[in-house]
Amino acid sequence: MRTTVKNIIGKYNNDKTRLMDILLDTQNELGFIPSEAVEVIAEGCGLSKVDVEQTRSFYHFFTCKPVGEYAVYLNDSVIAKMMGRDEVAKAFEKEAGCTFGNVSEDGKIGLYNTACIGMSDQEPAAIINDTVFTSLTPELVKDIVAQMKAGKKASEMVELKGDGKNNSKLINSMVFNNIRKSGSVLFSDYEEGASLKKIGGMTPNEVINEVKASYVRGRGGAGFPTGMKWDFCRQSEGTHYVLCNADEGEPGTFKERVILTEVPKLLFEGMAIAGYAIDSKVGILYLRYEYKYLQAYLENALEEMRKNNLLGKSIGGKEGFDFDIRIQFGAGAYVCGEESALIESAEGKRGEPRNRPPFPVQKGYMDSPTVVNNVETLCSIVKIVNNGAEWFTMIGSKESAGTKLLSISGDCKFPGVYEIEWGMRVRDMLEMVGAEDVQAVQIGGPSGVCIGPKDFKRTICFEDLPTGGSIMIFDNSRRLIEDVVTNFTDFFIEESCGSCVPCRAITVLMRQKLQKIIDGHGIMKDIDDLKNWGEKMKIANRCGLGQTAAAPILTTIENFREKYEALVSKDDYKSEFNMAAAVADSCEYVNRVPNL
């Protein structure tokens, strides 16, 4: 084992900033990361054991115990549950002979819960040894477990094939893209490499000005003007880096998966444009581990681009335009979608968001000026370069230029990916996807807002309802507080890095208070308490995760207060403590009836 780990460390030149890769490879090779391996890694990288352990223990997919020959990671997001995930989980437990969180006695099958894996339009879904299984049913599970017992490779169990490039040899997956609507930007035809040739005749500043003139804003959700970001970075001194954030972890999002499957070269081209504009030679695609099944395909796409002189040295024949990309996998941490946490992770550390200032454009990856852009943003920029900024500004709404990819899931006839123009009404969107009897729509995932019918006249755009792309629809058969809000809040509790006190502690306290209300012990004051505590969360935490961890509770209190009020008693005081039940055992023991 020591030799195996030493070889892995050697592969990365004993570089502690590549700790993520070292741990990923170790987990892959050994099936877990034993403390002996931690010791070898620490020694090899010049770290203390606790230094290595702090990174290892941060990420969901790194384990200190064997995960089993087949490690089943079954999504437990609210959408998965709505689509029958619990029955599938029961089937797995029955067939495998162990409960979730454990490995079967023979060490063959391990069962684990995991947060949204980016398959909300084809749930219930699971990842088994890096292979994705979608639209699971108890019957399918029986079949899958039988094949595991027969020793078949997970990747060979897939018989049904997905659509589009999922069919290709290098992906070979049952995943469906479900592109229901193609717009004029992201999924429109384009000539590969044309944008790179075009910028060869422009100065970097001209490229930045073109991006600025397009008014394109960051597609991750925050909407920061991309041209400004590039400009700031270009002006900062030092080695520059381009990082692409493909860590889409917001439950209900899966549009980046579709881009990476269908048009990965569009993205890489966008990264190269960014590289040219900010004078960077190194690009890193930070990809969530859940999309590991795309690795061979993406590496191949990069290789083809290198062969075609669209990456590497003197791109498009332009002297000095050197740029290449490597893929950095995450290991299961939602918070790494926050750009500074992503940078920390890419440097081999815990994914804890950094304090600002300095901003990543001043001091980012390796303390150097870094641009972190969303997948969709970079793809849009290729088309902006090709077709001109003015063309782009003609699309969309007043303050939101261009199109937006929405990942729509939940109670609707046609879940999938839609490229819409910014400015679409929620009502029109619901009609488009075939949603009826809608109780609530979650715009922008758990960190966004939960709106009811009175707000369906509002529009999806930065100036009204901004979204990173996750749209979840709940019809009137769903229990909004009991099933949806609790699931979202549990998600934030699980995914908090723990650094800020309010996010770490108060989210848990709010979840307990919510349970008190659900259990019928709540009073009106409890609703107000939740609101007050949640307001503090919004202002007191460092990063977007902490600031929005209370959003599921806050936005449902705001828009569905009557549902909370229906659950609480109108009394001023109600004990959450049942004295009779608490003393029942001791009363029985002394043969006495509780006198309550």
State yes or no: residue 508 binds another protein (CB under 8 A): yes
- Output the smallest distance, CB 338 to another protein, in A: 13
State yes or no: residue 49 binds another protein (CB under 8 A): yes
State yes or no: residue 500 binds another protein (CB under 8 A): yes
Tokens of 312: 């590497």
Pairing of strands 438-443, 179-181: unpaired
**Site stretch for another protein (CB under 8 A), options 25-33, 349-357, 423-431, 450-458:** 349-357
For another protein, give the closer residue by CB, 104 or 507. Answer: 507
State yes or no: residue 47 binds another protein (CB under 8 A): yes
595 Cβ partners below 8 Å, 6+ apart? none
Q: Which of 85, 585, 23 is closest to 331 using CA atoms?
A: 23
- Output the smallest distance, CB 500 to another protein, in A: 5
Are the C-beta atoms of residues 459 and 397 closer than 8 Å to each other? yes
Classified as helix, coil or strand, 461 is: coil
Residue from the set 355, 476, 578, 586 that interacts with another protein by CB under 8 A: 355
State yes or no: residue 582 binds another protein (CB under 8 A): no
**Site stretch for another protein (CB under 8 A), options 86-94, 231-239, 391-399, 503-511:** 503-511
- Output the smallest distance, CB 333 to another protein, in A: 8
- Output the smallest distance, CB 541 to another protein, in A: 7
- Output the smallest distance, CB 478 to another protein, in A: 27
- Output the smallest distance, CB 543 to another protein, in A: 10
Residue from the set 357, 454, 562, 566 that interacts with another protein by CB under 8 A: 357
Tokens of 199: 């910028």
For another protein, give the closer residue by CB, 508 or 583. Answer: 508
Interatomic CA distance for residues 542 and 500, integer angstroms: 7
Length of the chain: 596
Name residue, tokens 């979730």: 100
213 Cβ partners below 8 Å, 6+ apart? 227, 389, 390, 393
Interatomic CA distance for residues 288 and 329, integer angstroms: 6
For another protein, give the closer residue by CB, 5 or 506. Answer: 506
- Output the smallest distance, CB 195 to another protein, in A: 38
How many residues sit in the footprint of another protein (CB under 8 A)?
39
* Positions 424 through 443 that interact with another protein (CB under 8 A): none
For another protein, give the closer residue by CB, 137 or 355. Answer: 355
Judge if the upstream peptide bond of residue 264 is cis by omega within 30 degrees of 0. Answer: no
State yes or no: residue 27 binds another protein (CB under 8 A): no
- Output the smallest distance, CB 503 to another protein, in A: 8
Whole-number Cα distances in Å, 561 to 553, 555, 566: 10, 9, 9
State yes or no: residue 288 binds another protein (CB under 8 A): no
Residue from the set 146, 160, 509, 582 that interacts with another protein by CB under 8 A: 509
Pairing of strands 438-443, 470-475: antiparallel
State yes or no: residue 64 binds another protein (CB under 8 A): no
Are the C-beta atoms of residues 439 and 415 closer than 8 Å to each other? no
Interatomic CA distance for residues 460 and 466, integer angstroms: 6
Residue from the set 14, 17, 57, 147 that interacts with another protein by CB under 8 A: 57
Tokens of 36: 């002996």
* Positions 521 through 550 that interact with another protein (CB under 8 A): 529, 533, 536, 539-542
Name residue, tokens 């020694």: 43
Helix, strand counts (H, E) of the chain: 25, 16
Amino acid at 141: V
* Positions 389 through 418 that interact with another protein (CB under 8 A): none
- Output the smallest distance, CB 574 to another protein, in A: 14
Are the C-beta atoms of residues 67 and 103 closer than 8 Å to each other? yes
Are the C-beta atoms of residues 230 and 384 closer than 8 Å to each other? no
- Output the smallest distance, CB 5 to another protein, in A: 17
> Residues interacting with another protein, by CB under 8 A?
46-51, 53-54, 57-58, 333, 350, 355-357, 493-502, 504-509, 512, 529, 533, 536, 539-542
